[in-house]
Amino acid sequence: MLNKQQRFGRESESIAIKHLKRNGYKILEQNYRTKLGEIDIIAKDKESLVFVEVKARKSTRFGNPKCAVTYKKRQKISMVALCYLKTIKQSNVKARFDVVAISLAKKSPQIEIIKNAFELAYG
């Protein structure tokens, strides 16, 4: 059984997936997990493999959701992405990191796709 926060996360990811599909992305994986961590969505956008982090907020109390991807989170996503590329034996594929920021502070969700939101971060 999911708690309130987990349900909100799943609902936010569903909103993000619908928005990504409307914008031409093909969803390959959702909630890709390894012992290193998780990537919310892995998709294909034209010729690029895209690792997507979804950030959502119900209010502006804690700031804009697109600012919520910390350096530590970027490191974790990067490590999982490298693991994924190794698993599918595609280390030379064109890839990027996008963030889908969802603000639910107003009546209708405000959704923004930030392409190339960050570079590979590790170390």
Q: Tell me if 68 is assigned to some domain.
A: yes
Question: Which structural domain, as residue segments, surrounds residue 23?
Answer: 4-118
Q: Tell me if 123 is assigned to some domain.
A: no
What does the pLDDT read at residue 49? 97
Q: Say if residue 120's pLDDT is above 90.
A: no
pTM over cut 0.75? yes
For residue range 58-102, list pLDDT tens digits in order. 766 666 666 678 889 999 999 999 999 999 988 788 999 999 999
Count of structural domains, the chain: 1
CATH number at residue 110: 3.40.1350.10
Distance between CA 95 and CA 12 in Å, rounded? 23
Q: Tell me if 70 is assigned to some domain.
A: yes
Q: Tell me if 28 is assigned to some domain.
A: yes
Phi-psi region of 37 (alpha: psi -120 to 50; beta: other; left: phi over 0): left
Query: What's the token pair of residue 35?
Result: 């012992």
Instruction: Note the helical H segments in 1-123.
Output: 4-22, 71-87
